[in-house]
Amino acid sequence: MTDKALPTIQELMAKPSTDIVDSLKGIYEHSAWVAESLVKNDISSIQSITELATAMQQIVDDSSEEQKLALLQAHPDLGAKVAHLQTLTKESQQEQSSAGLHTMNGKEVETFHSQNNQYKDKFQFPFILAVRNASKHTVLSALKGRLPNSYQHEFVAAISQVHKIAWMRLLQIVDTTNSPGFLTCHVLDTANGCPAANMKITLTKLSEPNAGVIIGEFVTNSDGRLEGGPALKGPTFQVGIYEWTFYAGDYFASKGAYTSGQPFLDVIPIRFGIDNPDDHYHVPLLVSPWSFSTYRGS
Amino acid sequence: MTDKALPTIQELMAKPSTDIVDSLKGIYEHSAWVAESLVKNDISSIQSITELATAMQQIVDDSSEEQKLALLQAHPDLGAKVAHLQTLTKESQQEQSSAGLHTMNGKEVETFHSQNNQYKDKFQFPFILAVRNASKHTVLSALKGRLPNSYQHEFVAAISQVHKIAWMRLLQIVDTTNSPGFLTCHVLDTANGCPAANMKITLTKLSEPNAGVIIGEFVTNSDGRLEGGPALKGPTFQVGIYEWTFYAGDYFASKGAYTSGQPFLDVIPIRFGIDNPDDHYHVPLLVSPWSFSTYRGS
Amino acid sequence: MTDKALPTIQELMAKPSTDIVDSLKGIYEHSAWVAESLVKNDISSIQSITELATAMQQIVDDSSEEQKLALLQAHPDLGAKVAHLQTLTKESQQEQSSAGLHTMNGKEVETFHSQNNQYKDKFQFPFILAVRNASKHTVLSALKGRLPNSYQHEFVAAISQVHKIAWMRLLQIVDTTNSPGFLTCHVLDTANGCPAANMKITLTKLSEPNAGVIIGEFVTNSDGRLEGGPALKGPTFQVGIYEWTFYAGDYFASKGAYTSGQPFLDVIPIRFGIDNPDDHYHVPLLVSPWSFSTYRGS
Amino acid sequence: MTDKALPTIQELMAKPSTDIVDSLKGIYEHSAWVAESLVKNDISSIQSITELATAMQQIVDDSSEEQKLALLQAHPDLGAKVAHLQTLTKESQQEQSSAGLHTMNGKEVETFHSQNNQYKDKFQFPFILAVRNASKHTVLSALKGRLPNSYQHEFVAAISQVHKIAWMRLLQIVDTTNSPGFLTCHVLDTANGCPAANMKITLTKLSEPNAGVIIGEFVTNSDGRLEGGPALKGPTFQVGIYEWTFYAGDYFASKGAYTSGQPFLDVIPIRFGIDNPDDHYHVPLLVSPWSFSTYRGS
């Protein structure tokens, strides 16, 4: 994400059209026409990766049904990958399948091919699943879940997966280090109807780089918010997986609240993903000694 | 907890009164009178550790204000422990303070002693905090939080801490292996208003023994519950810290729900404590792709 | 709903095919072919209105894109209705528009026609909105919200609205008095981590017939549930709008919980709709003195 | 609350000490010493009713156990009121008991007197319940619930009730029209992980004056908040009972979200009390088509 060689969105958009097309031609699978259409428009207003993704998505959405179908059909068949994995040695399997697709047993492989073939017969385009490192469990249940859809419903679902893949690819080629997104928190004590003041919180990065590293330590202020503003912003606010750790047991103990010997809630982890470097992520905790909730806030 | 040498509650209650007193005399700090009062009553109806704890608690609650005050005053002064820790070598500090009280810096030690002395002056009994392995953060904020209480309020709070210590001690001396408690789960999809079927869940033990071991793997049935009944019951249902891991991202992917590239919610840990081997713990998950909550259910 | 003249689902399915077609030909707008296809299948397994709706829905979903488009195009143009309303006297307006569409002012009418025309031009089928008594606010924002959709996305959305209209029409022609659905409740005290026992609850019907009538009075048992089983079942369980009234303030007062003079939460109404006479509706309350939540449970 | 004759807190605090004592002597039942102690302190920093209440509360909390007991014992016996009500005509009963205490039947009256007598015998002070218009259900269950408490626990609970009565009385004698409190709202769509924009909301006053009057109509902005700032502030922000009405069904319909024919959630009322004219009340809605929650935010 912070690779010096990547252009910022402003740098990318300032390039000659042919260079832009060259950079973006692979965002939609084997469909350089999306990038080519893009540069024919006025792109001077595109100042963020979100705006770029939206513009390309709009081109796809506005294209004809035939073009969309061709786009779907340009995607590889997951069945070929699964079949290929079966022919490899254990070592090669692991190299080529971080998601563990190679761990499908015989019956699972059989089910997969059967349903994958039914899918292709029914819809005339390959099964597309935009889940990074999808496990065999995900693949098998997604395939089973989507097979009964009507043609039109599944067509829309597949295009939506394609847009998601495009977004993940865009994130790989643009330097988003200085994007405007940021992460905030707020803790409310729902047992006492007040902000949870003086609660210790840590923030751990779970995805690479720096997986497992505690990247922030905080104590809530009298309004239950982090002293000093956002937990992450600018270069520290990166797409990835994070985990808040809330020391709620300590907080309730210090309030003199009754909690059991082994408290029902003590150290509370909240794991969440950041997907868009342009957005404000507000990830609060509403907590009593016996219940809690969180949500994507704004 | 599963030490063969420990008696079950039935075995304990069947012993001669003097043996029972001997076993229970230390449950309330230096206050054998609680156990002695207990055996003067008809204790034949006590069939569970919960009932035993309740009976002893009732004796304390029904005792005179003088007796309760004596009970509070029988507790050691945390100030002496902190002062003692300061005199030790680093190695001895660690041995005697798993909670890290010895990591208080000079200013914190000073604050602690000042407030602890104020506490003793104001209330005429020592500061009692029934938090296993209380961190310096907990100790300092609990002390600061409770110091302004009125005498009567703090008296009640302190007795409540004493009951909690008694409960934790009871759990150490009774074999609760075959207690009737059990653990169940339920997952509801609040985005679609239906049970979350076919979601993978694992259960990990976080406290010793077997800390870090995955002790259960489940897939939800059509009603969003665990196939095959309780996740834990009988000998596997033990006091301790546990963590559900819900594969919610997989579930929503298989439903064809829109989720972002790096989903906001994917793998969801829910950490919780089990404190009472007699109770039913229902720990459900209410989840959408953008929010979740849990609670101690029944 | 309880009109004696309506057949039960069993009675309807036992009729001659021509009678069934006659009954069901209007379920999908001007599209008798759905009912005609239905009776060509083996319909002996259809034992509930849910199964009948699902079977008809499947026929539509499995039909060709041309058939679906024709179905969409068979729906009336809302624009014509709005235009017609404008020509009427105030009295006639009210008679023909319970939803207040006639209250659109000049600018709103203009916006509506402009967007409705854009919609028809873009999608080549009329704007379909399956909301009973849709207000002008709903119509205007739904139209505005759906106009930017891609053709395929809106096609799927429109078919989904058509299925919903079909369901509402089915409910008008089948006697569902003895359907198996039922309504249950559960109250959990999230401040104390226990069932809320001894809380008074009433249930009021809000839709006709019997709008405004209290149809149930309950006190929760020790597990926080309604003594005596479901609040509604059999003939009393009808499609419509309902409201629980939870006397949460009384409950917390009786627990000795601190609540403010004018409690933040006291009498808590939870309004909800029942749409399917075959389903179990579990509508619980999770409540502390300062927060509450509910959900469609199972 | 807006009676012109009432002094503001600044006007009250600026009066001569004897006048202040005269105004406040009845705030704590037959205990003018609280007000007398107050004016002996420096009260120049008291600028709000909250600060005044806190200062008086502190005086009580710091007083001796004997003084507190005398304060408790200065309260009237609810038993006498119940007994008196029984002697009245139906008409007089209604006049003297807006809460319906006179509707207790014979068995309830008997239970009440029996438990009320046990209470007085056990605690040596009368049963105090600071619930405005407490129903017989509340009185009976609070009495039953608190009777088993230990002496010290109930002493603290009773003092807490006395503080609450004091607060309610203070609100009757101070003009809080221009207090700094205000009411805000926020609606989050937990099915889609975004602010719920363009949702219609109304605010209705439920308590007198103006009970039943819609006092605000709003549409949420793109951040899910009320355009134009607080819903209530200054003179319109008054202690009382209020109800938001959220048109959530309209919102989800306009998003094209699937909702059932009779939506599970459509018009959502959230009823809440405002107790402190100095506070910020943030009363948000987290909502999907199948679940919602609210809480006292900040």
Q: Do A298 and D224 touch (CB under 8 A)?
A: yes
Q: Is A202 helix (H, G, I), strand (E, B) or coil?
A: strand
Q: Do A190 and D295 touch (CB under 8 A)?
A: yes
| Closest of D78, D158, D172 to residue D116, by C-alpha | D78
Q: Which residues of chain A have pLDDT under 70?
A: 1-4, 92-100, 133, 258-259
Q: How would DSSP label each residue in A13-79?
A: HTS-HHHHHHHHTTTSTT-HHHHHHHHHS--TT--SHHHHHHHHHHHHHHS-HHHHHHHHHTSPPHH
Q: Do D62 and B150 touch (CB under 8 A)?
A: yes
Q: Is D48 helix (H, G, I), strand (E, B) or coil?
A: coil
> B78 with B126: CB under 8 angstroms?
yes
pLDDT value for C89: 74
Residue A192's closest chain C neighbor by CA? C290
Which of C207, C239, C258 shows the shortest C-beta gap to D160? C258
Q: Do C261 and D292 touch (CB under 8 A)?
A: no
Q: How would DSSP label each residue in A129-177?
A: ---TT--HHHHHHHHHHHTTS-HHHHHHHHHHHHHHHHHHHHHHHS--T
Dump pLDDT digits (tens) for B141-156.
889 989 999 999 999 9
Q: Which amino acid is at B83?
A: A
Q: Which amino acid is at A79?
A: G
Q: SS3 helix, strand, coil % of chain C, rounded to 5?
A: 40, 20, 40
Dump pLDDT digits (tens) for B7-59.
999 999 999 999 999 999 999 999 999 999 999 999 999 999 999 999 999 99
Instruction: Tell me what percent of the residues of chain D surpass a pLDDT of 90.
Output: 78
Q: Cα B188 to the chain's mean position, in Å?
A: 27
Q: Do B152 and D150 touch (CB under 8 A)?
A: no
pLDDT value for C272: 98
Give chain A's mean pLDDT. 92
Residues C183-201 have a mean pLDDT of: 96
The alpha carbon of residue D77 is apart from the nearest alpha carbon of chain A, in Å, by 30
pLDDT value for C94: 63
Residue B166: pLDDT over 90: yes
Residues ≥6 apart with Cβ < 8 Å to A120:
A77, A79, A126, A127
Instruction: Tell me what percent of the residues of chain B surpass a pLDDT of 70.
Output: 94
Q: Do A272 and B295 touch (CB under 8 A)?
A: no
The alpha carbon of residue A145 is apart from the nearest alpha carbon of chain B, in Å, by 6
Residue C30: pLDDT over 60: yes
The alpha carbon of residue C190 is apart from the nearest alpha carbon of chain D, in Å, by 12
DSSP type of residue C130? -
Residue numbers in D near A190 (CB within 8 A):
295
pLDDT value for D206: 97
d(CA B286, CA B292): 5
Q: Give ipTM to 2 decimals.
A: 0.93
Residue C3: pLDDT over 60: no
Q: C1, C141, C221, C244: best mutation site toward chain D, by most D Cβ within 10 Å?
A: C141
pLDDT value for C95: 59
Residue D1: pLDDT over 50: no
**Tokens 């006049």 appear where?**
D95
d(CA A283, CA A294): 7
**Could you tell me which residues of chain A have a Cβ less than 8 Å from any Cβ in chain D?**
188, 190, 193-195, 223-224, 286, 293, 295-298
B92-101, B176-185, C288-297, D279-288: least confidently modelled range: B92-101
Dump pLDDT digits (tens) for C82-103.
888 878 777 766 655 556 677 8
The alpha carbon of residue A155 is apart from the nearest alpha carbon of chain D, in Å, by 18
Which of D150, D155, D190 shows the shortest C-beta gap to B61? D150
Q: Do A275 and B261 touch (CB under 8 A)?
A: yes
Residue B3: pLDDT over 50: no
Buried b (16+ CB within 10 A) or exposed e, C185-209: bbbbbbbbbbbbbbbbbbbbbbeee
> B75 with B29: CB under 8 angstroms?
yes
Tell me which chains share at least 3 CB pairs under 8 Å with chain B.
A, C, D
Which of C138, C240, C290 shows the shortest C-beta gap to D254? C138
| Closest of A148, A231, A149 to residue A186, by C-alpha | A231
Q: Do B193 and D290 touch (CB under 8 A)?
A: yes
Dump pLDDT digits (tens) for B91-124.
766 655 556 677 888 899 999 999 999 999 999 9
Residues C213-235 have a mean pLDDT of: 95
pLDDT value for B95: 59
**Could you tell me which residues of chain D have a Cβ less than 8 Å from any Cβ in chain A?**
188, 190, 193-195, 223-224, 286, 293, 295-298
> How many Cα atoms are found within 13 Å in the side-chain-facing hemisphere of C289?
21
pLDDT value for A3: 47
Strands D194-195 and D291-295: unpaired
Cis peptide before B209 (omega within 30 of 0): yes
Residue numbers in C near A288 (CB within 8 A):
190-191, 193, 288, 291
Q: Do A190 and C190 touch (CB under 8 A)?
A: yes
Q: How many residues does chain A have?
A: 298
pLDDT value for D98: 54
Residue C187: pLDDT over 60: yes
pLDDT value for A131: 75
Dump pLDDT digits (tens) for B201-218.
999 999 999 999 999 999
pLDDT value for B104: 86
Q: SS3 helix, strand, coil % of chain A, rounded to 5?
A: 40, 20, 40
A83-87, B73-77, C146-150: least confidently modelled range: A83-87
pLDDT value for C137: 80
Q: Do B190 and D264 touch (CB under 8 A)?
A: no
pLDDT value for A246: 98
Residue D189: pLDDT over 50: yes
Instruction: Tell me what percent of the residues of chain D surpass a pLDDT of 70.
Output: 94
Residue numbers in D near C157 (CB within 8 A):
256
The alpha carbon of residue C166 is apart from the nearest alpha carbon of chain D, in Å, by 9
pLDDT value for B205: 98
Which of B167, B255, B266 shows the shortest C-beta gap to A273? B266
Q: Which amino acid is at B133?
A: N
Which of D145, D261, D275 shows the shortest C-beta gap to C261? D275
DSSP run (H or E) holding A81:
helix A78-86
The alpha carbon of residue B259 is apart from the nearest alpha carbon of chain D, in Å, by 9
Q: Do D298 and A194 touch (CB under 8 A)?
A: yes
Q: Do C256 and D296 touch (CB under 8 A)?
A: no
The alpha carbon of residue D195 is apart from the nearest alpha carbon of chain A, in Å, by 7
Residue B260: pLDDT over 80: no
Residues ≥6 apart with Cβ < 8 Å to D260:
C164, C167, C273, C275, C276
Tell me which chains share at least 3 CB pairs under 8 Å with chain C.
A, B, D
Torsion of CA D124, D125, D127, D130, to 10 degrees: -160
Q: Is C288 helix (H, G, I), strand (E, B) or coil?
A: strand
